[in-house]
């Protein structure tokens, strides 16, 4: 069989994708890239203003996009995001479970409500969105979950976040096993420190000057923090047919941070 001609179409031409947390940061960069590569994109986020800006930018660039207000901790909201996507675009091929929050504390200093909130957004959100997406992904496709380098190794004063991202990594593997037979691939992208609003929130939570925090975060072999586009390109790979034999994998995108520090 001849290889498909991709000279006039992007790697996601004819596909439909849902991106949670698509209002800003990695989610927004990925929504833009998916659209550039030919996908119709549903942006699911609680931030209506920025999410609608993301959608309008995609539309202005000549692609199809839809905003659905989505609190990923809500069963009803997650079901609605998938239902509205099917109503608008007829099917679903890619789900990028990217919505997430961070809370930098140790176990004794973590309030129960904060623990529950981190777990609800970072883990329950992946579960709920996937619960409603998987049954309608009849054409197979790809689910990509946003983990973290701290889902693979521990970090200082980040117990709730590390626990949640470790759960995402393991949930990814379990889902890959359960749904491979239906042609569905499930993978996890694990960013390092990336220049998104979460980076500023970390500095504030730790009581560290933001510029000092950024300088510390840049101490890695590549010598800088990540950019949203760095992660978006990795997500595109996992969403596209370029990774058709890749499932249950964790793709670390951290400038070598887990490899060790540069001299």
Please state whether 110 falls in left (phi above 0), alpha (psi between -120 and 50) or beta.
Answer: beta
The H-assigned helical ranges of the chain are 25-36, 48-60, 75-89, 112-119, 125-133, 159-179, 197-206, 210-217, 228-239
54 CB-side CA count, 13 A: 34
* 3-state SS record for 140-190: CEEEEEECCHHHCCCCCCCHHHHHHHHHHHHHHHHHHHHHHHHCEEEEEEE
127 CB-side CA count, 13 A: 15
Q: How many angstroms separate the CA atoms of 111 and 107, rounded?
A: 8
Active site residues: 161
Tokens for 243? 């990774």
Closest CA to 36 of 9, 18, 5: 9
């Amino acid at each position: 069989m001849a290889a498909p001609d991709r000279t006039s179409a992007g790697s996601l031409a004819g596909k439909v994708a849902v991106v949670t947390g698509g209002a800003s940061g990695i989610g927004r960069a990925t929504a833009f890239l998916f659209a550039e590569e030919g996908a119709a994109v549903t942006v699911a986020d609680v931030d209506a203003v920025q999410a609608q800006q993301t959608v309008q930018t995609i539309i202005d660039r000549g692609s199809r996009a839809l905003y659905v207000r989505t609190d990923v901790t809500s069963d009803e909201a997650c079901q609605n995001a998938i239902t509205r996507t099917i109503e608008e675009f007829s099917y679903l091929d890619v789900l990028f479970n990217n919505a997430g929050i961070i809370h930098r504390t140790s176990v004794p200093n973590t309030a129960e409500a904060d623990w529950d909130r981190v777990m609800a957004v970072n883990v329950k959100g992946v579960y709920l969105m996937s619960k409603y997406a998987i049954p309608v992904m009849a054409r197979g496709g790809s689910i990509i979950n946003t983990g973290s380098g701290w889902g693979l190794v521990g970090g200082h004063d980040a117990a709730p976040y590390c626990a949640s991202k470790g759960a995402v990594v393991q949930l990814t593997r379990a889902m890959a096993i359960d749904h491979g037979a239906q042609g569905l691939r499930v993978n996890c992208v694990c960013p390092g420190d990336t220049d998104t609003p979460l980076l500023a929130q970390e500095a504030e939570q730790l009581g560290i000057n933001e510029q000092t925090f950024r300088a510390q975060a840049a101490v890695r072999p590549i010598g800088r923090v990540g950019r949203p586009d760095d992660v978006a390109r990795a997500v595109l790979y996992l969403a596209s047919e370029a990774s058709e034999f890749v499932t249950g994998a964790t793709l670390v995108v951290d400038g070598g941070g887990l490899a060790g520090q540069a001299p």
